[in-house]
Amino acid sequence: MKPTVFHPHVFALLACSLGASAQAQAQAPAASPIKGGTLVMPVHVGEPATYDCHGTNSPAVMWRVAPHYSTLLKINADNFPQVTGDLAKSWTVSPDNLSYRFTLHPNIKFHDGSTLTSADVKASFDRLRNPPAGVVSLRQGMLADVNTIETPDDNTVVFTFKRKNAAALQLLAMPYACVYSAKLMASDPSYPTKRVMGTGPFRFVRHTPGSEWVGERFNDYFLAGKPYLDGIRLLNVSPVAATNALLAGQVHFTMQGLTPPEVARVTGARGDKVVVRGGGAATTFLPWFAINNQRDGLKDPRVRRALNLALDRWGASKAMEQMTPMFRVGGLLRPGSTFARDDAELAKLPGFGRDIEAARKEAKRLLAAAGQSNLKITVVNNRAFTYFGVYVADQLSRIGVTVDHQALDTPQVAARRISGDYDLIFDSPAEYSDDPSIQLAYFEPFSTNRANLARFGDPKVVALYQAQLQDFNPQSRKQRVRDLESYLMEQSFVMPLFWQSRKRVMDAQLRGLEGDYGSNYVKIDLADVWFDGGAKK
């Protein structure tokens, strides 16, 4: 067995935390959840740059802070991507689909003992859609259609939209919309960046950078009987160390998907003490290389389309499966979802044809027509995904493009994203829903959407996006979405790679995470997780 590699501080806490968690005694499945135990899981995506849900789209933040906060609505993991309530006990929609009235659960408490009211919901969404100076909101554009937020009483909040929005409930269910204390924000609008205090199932205890993140059950949580766990301990380790810890029985599960060789290694070592979950459905996680439309050689859509045509996605898929959970071929919409194309339809889009030699011949023709037969580009990549950069460099060399592949650490990549100093740059949008208004919001104009690393603004994209957003007819909306996807791929603003298919191995006594979920951002509050057999401290 290979040794487990951890941060030095992690060794000491593993012995005490696992001793206080699940007892590894085989028992018949319990009929209902049992309280007790501390969940130990690794977080393999680095340290959080902020504690603020509103200013991030990073799992390094969300996987840590989500258990401490509540949202108005959330995505129903077991009926993905439908919406269910969180703080909202119920809601009604006006006949014109412009007004959404939410009734909150009664007696919701913040972790400091204060009472949550509709004013806190309003203040939090106002901060998201119109952040004060110095506050970052990455989801401001997604809430642009919200006209007013009113609070007729302490338990009621009413959202009025400027126009019909087919994804209104989905947008209000974003996991980034953590509800903060209006009182604390009034004194310091940036408090969520440095203090964790919400109404979620777990109260924040401590964060030791480089080592651990700890939470404990919040006994005044508004959903009776939950959470089931006594506490949570999230360990900061590398992806390799996360898998080794699972293999050694030092953690209960990992958020990351495992490759077939990794699954075989863990299950072979641990036998019936672990189970394999998921891996059948793709999740809403599509890494790609954004193509910088502000670079002279890449302003021409013929050049960008040539780059996409060079990639043999179908041929590389099987090889990718052996080294990464990101191996599923698909367009810009999650494979298997309502709006996605089947393989035959997908093959008609640029870059997804089955005849790679014909595609590369066309790519060379396009480059020649654009006067770029000897194109040289810089590809900025995250070091953790070096294999994607190597793959793209190899594929582009087949059409005569010379690539300077720069695999950098996360802080350096972040700096290049801000500066725009790249031709292609690795990006990995991980969304919480496959509704196209959320999945394709990335392509809103760079002038108002700094998440758009392709750095473009196209009026036709705006028009097509808005048309599908306001269409409540399922069939016509589907066609509008297809039209938008076709145009995006014809213009080739980004170079899609492969969708994630997340197969996870977890402790056999762990319950509440059995599904093959469509997103990495569902069930991350951990309120429904429990141990069969009690797992008493």
State the Cα–Cα distance between residues 465 and 439, nearest whole angstrom.
11
State whether residue 55 is helix, strand or coil.
helix
State the Cα–Cα distance between residues 35 and 532, nearest whole angstrom.
9
For 400-419, the pLDDT digits (tens) are 999 999 999 877 888 899 89
Q: Cβ contacts of residue 303 below 8 Å, gap of 6+? A: 297, 366, 367, 370, 372, 375
Which of 52 and 27 is assigned the larger pLDDT?
52
Give the single-character DSSP code of 10: H
| pLDDT value for 477 | 96
Give the single-character DSSP code of 29: P
Torsional class of 535: left (φ above 0), alpha (ψ -120 to 50), beta (otherwise): left
Angle between helices 386-397 and 313-321 (to 10 degrees): 150
Please report where in the chains the tokens 């913040």 appear, as a residue: 110
Confidence category of residue 31, pLDDT binned at 50, 70, 90 = low
- The β-bridge partners of 234 are 41, 213
Residue 6 clears pLDDT 50, i.e. is over it = no
- To 10 degrees, the CA torsion angle through 305, 311, 315, 318? -120
268-281: average pLDDT: 94
Please report where in the chains the tokens 């690795």 appear, as a residue: 426
Number of alpha helices (DSSP H) and beta strands (DSSP E) in the chain: 16, 21
**Global confidence as pTM:** 0.86
Q: Which two tokens stand for residue 271?
A: 């036998």
108-135: average pLDDT: 96
| pLDDT value for 411 | 79
Residue 134 clears pLDDT 50, i.e. is over it = yes
| pLDDT value for 139 | 85
Evaluate whether 109 touches 70 at the Cβ level (below 8 Å): no
| pLDDT value for 46 | 79
For 350-392, the pLDDT digits (tens) are 999 999 999 999 999 999 999 999 999 999 999 889 999 999 9
Confidence category of residue 12, pLDDT binned at 50, 70, 90 = very low
- The β-bridge partners of 402 are 376
State the Cα–Cα distance between residues 334 and 341, nearest whole angstrom.
9
Domains of the chain: 8-49+204-279+504-531 (3.40.190.10), 73-193 (3.90.76.10), 288-500 (3.10.105.10)
Q: Cβ contacts of residue 20 below 8 Å, gap of 6+? A: 37, 38, 230, 537
